């Protein structure tokens, strides 16, 4: 296993220890969250009783393969803990997410959790968000107009493609990956973007994370709100 994967696995397994008997667990998405789902699957096989709410079709499939019992918002009204990855984290614990295209479901699940733990490797820690193009989920209808409106706010939107086709989210929407020249005020940018009619959600997760678990070369560092 390469060192990066080993780091992701280490933080994911550390975070999985925060899950306790009887909890409803928000299952994040992405390669780091996948390690956490696998570890929880092992703990379930060892007798841990939990229920998971996945934040993407991929996480749902993996969790089912790992034997984690799943539930949804028609059966539960609170999530005890959510564990998720991120594309960037700043020193105020603000997050940029959506590299995998699951930002809407992630925001719903992560936002409902009493405790949100983010697991990343140290390359994701930044002084200012925005080096990674900000994913924004938009309605397919009129996406060109929405892109123009995002440009007027200073972004450079690019319609996401995968394997030569337009990328379609789990909610049948499109993603615009938007390069902003350094996001100075994430909360304000998020609020401005949300006022655009075609914007479904942005990848800025403001004041949501309670704890960041960072994989470093020499061990694990934890940032707490
Ligand atoms: O926001 C996400 C998906 O929408 C992921 O959490 C984010 O892209 C991090 O993924 P990885 O752990 O593979 O780097």
Asked whether the beta carbons of 100 and 46 are under 8 A apart, the reply is no
Q: Is the CB of 38 under 6 A from ligand 1?
A: no
Helices assigned H by DSSP within the chain: 3-16, 31-45, 57-65, 103-112, 143-152, 186-194
Whose structure tokens read 């930044």?
Answer: 126
User: Could you tell me where in the chain the CATH 3.40.50.1360 domains are found?
Assistant: 3-126+206-224
Burial of 211 (0-12, 13-18, 19+ CB in 10 A): middle
At 40-91, the pLDDT tens digits run 999 999 999 999 999 999 999 999 999 999 999 999 989 999 999 999 999 9
User: Could you tell me where in the chain the CATH 3.30.70.260 domains are found?
Assistant: 134-203
Q: Is the CB of 26 under 6 A from ligand 1?
A: no
Specify the pTM. 0.96
| Rounded average pLDDT over 132-149 | 98
Q: Is 106 a catalytic residue?
A: yes
Asked whether the beta carbons of 113 and 82 are under 8 A apart, the reply is yes
Residue 117 token pair = 């733990």
Provide CATH code, domain 3-126+206-224.
3.40.50.1360
216 is in an annotated binding site: no
**Pairing of the two strands 219-224 and 211-216:** antiparallel
Provide CATH code, domain 134-203.
3.30.70.260
Which has the minimum average pLDDT: 15-19, 31-35, 213-217? 213-217
On the question of pLDDT at 2 being above 90, the answer is no
């Amino acid at each position: 296993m390469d060192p990066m994967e080993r780091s992701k696995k280490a933080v994911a397994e550390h975070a999985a220890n925060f899950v306790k008997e009887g909890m409803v667990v928000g299952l994040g998405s992405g390669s780091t969250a996948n390690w956490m789902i696998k570890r929880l699957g092992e703990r379930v096989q060892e007798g841990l009783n939990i229920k998971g709410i996945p934040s993407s079709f991929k996480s749902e499939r993996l969790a089912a393969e790992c034997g984690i019992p799943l539930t949804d918002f028609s059966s539960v009204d609170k999530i005890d803990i959510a564990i998720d990855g991120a594309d960037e984290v700043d020193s105020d614990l603000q997050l940029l997410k959506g590299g995998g295209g699951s930002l809407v479901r992630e925001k719903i699940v992560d936002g409902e959790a009493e405790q949100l733990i983010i697991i990343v490797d140290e390359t994701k820690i930044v002084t200012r968000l925005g080096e990674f193009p900000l994913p924004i989920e938009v309605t397919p209808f009129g996406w060109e107009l929405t892109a123009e409106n995002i440009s007027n706010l200073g972004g450079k939107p690019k319609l996401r493609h995968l394997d030569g086709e337009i990328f379609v989210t789990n909610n049948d929407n499109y993603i615009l990956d938007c390069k902003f020249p350094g996001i100075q005020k994430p909360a304000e940018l998020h609020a401005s973007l949300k006022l655009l009619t075609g914007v479904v959600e942005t990848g800025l997760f403001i004041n949501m994370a309670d704890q960041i678990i960072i994989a470093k070369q020499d061990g694990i560092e934890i940032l707490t709100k």
